Amino acid sequence: MSMRTILFAAVATVALALGGCADEQMTGSSQPAATGQGGYLGSNPGANAPTAATNAPAAPGSGQGGYLGSNVGAGAGAPTRMTEADMMKNPAMWCRMSAMDMGRCSGRSSADHAYCMEKAGGDPVAYQRCRRTMDFIGWHN
């Protein structure tokens, strides 16, 4: 062993020995400091803890549910399914309903919509096929 190795080992040993003493000197006891990291809690831990939770009741209009009134949803009609003709009215609607990657489709929805409207000639099925092809090919930047 070299002199350097022996010196390093001696310094490390002294540092470790003094490390345990430093804790005793700082806290004034031989008990480890309460760090909140577990360990021995003493006898009867939680003796002074409150016995019941004191949660305030929910304020009105807090969004936590409750009574909605009588005959809720009576005026709502049956949900309708989106048709191909409805998708032709809005360029981004097709992306929301049919695209494989909505983010990629939305970026080019206006250009693809204009191109497919021109090629389809007003036929909803041809428009649907055109948009699907554009989505598969990925003409998108």
- For residue 99, being part of any structural domain is answered with yes
**Residue 35, pLDDT score:** 61
- For residue 109, being part of any structural domain is answered with yes
**Residue 76, pLDDT score:** 76
pTM exceeding 0.85: no
- For residue 106, being part of any structural domain is answered with yes
Question: What's the average model confidence in pLDDT over 91-118?
Answer: 83
List b or e across 42-77, with b for residues whose CB sees 16 or more CB atoms inside 10 angstroms. Answer: eeeeeeeeeeeeeeeeeeeeeeeeeeeeeeeeeeee
User: At 141, is the pLDDT very low, low, confident or very high (cuts 50, 70, 90)?
Assistant: very low
Query: Into how many domains does the chain fold?
Result: 1
User: What is the tens place of the pLDDT at every residue in 127-140?
Assistant: 888 888 888 887 54
User: What is the tens place of the pLDDT at every residue in 6-63?
Assistant: 888 888 888 888 776 555 555 555 555 556 666 777 777 777 777 766 666 656 555 6
Element (H, E) at 15: helix 3-27
Q: Domain span at residue 114? A: 84-137
